[in-house]
Amino acid sequence: MGIPDRFAYSASKGAVLMMTRSVACDYISDKIRCNSISPGRVHTPFVDKYLKDNYAGREDKMFEKLSAAQPIGRMGQPEEIASLAVFLASDESTFITGADYEIDGGFNNLRP
């Protein structure tokens, strides 16, 4: 989705989607698959540092606000993203190529 004041960031996300499809097309005859993962907000040390640097003394309140913005009611965990990556790299996903996987707690599809 487009984000105000984040032109380059938003454009790079769109580029990843098209790159995924192009690479999938280019290498399908070599039996090389290409998929992409589009994570939503994930609770990482980056988020904690962002909150500390920008909301000193209000980190807990802002953490709750960011978590509540996810329709599922929480941020993702790094292990959840990793599990999807492992699946896509496994033999269980050999019929999947050129696809993007939004793993965002419903953020892009379930928000009002």
Which residues form the catalytic set? 9
The helix (H) or strand (E) run that includes residue 101 is: strand 100-103
Which residue type occupies 79?
A: E
Residues 105 and 75: beta-carbon distance below 8 Å: yes
Compute the C-alpha angle 20/24/26, nearest 5°.
Answer: 120
CA nearest neighbour of 37 among 24, 20, 22: 20
Q: What angle, 0 to 180 degrees and rounded to 10, lies between the N-to-C axes of helices 59-68 and 45-54?
A: 130
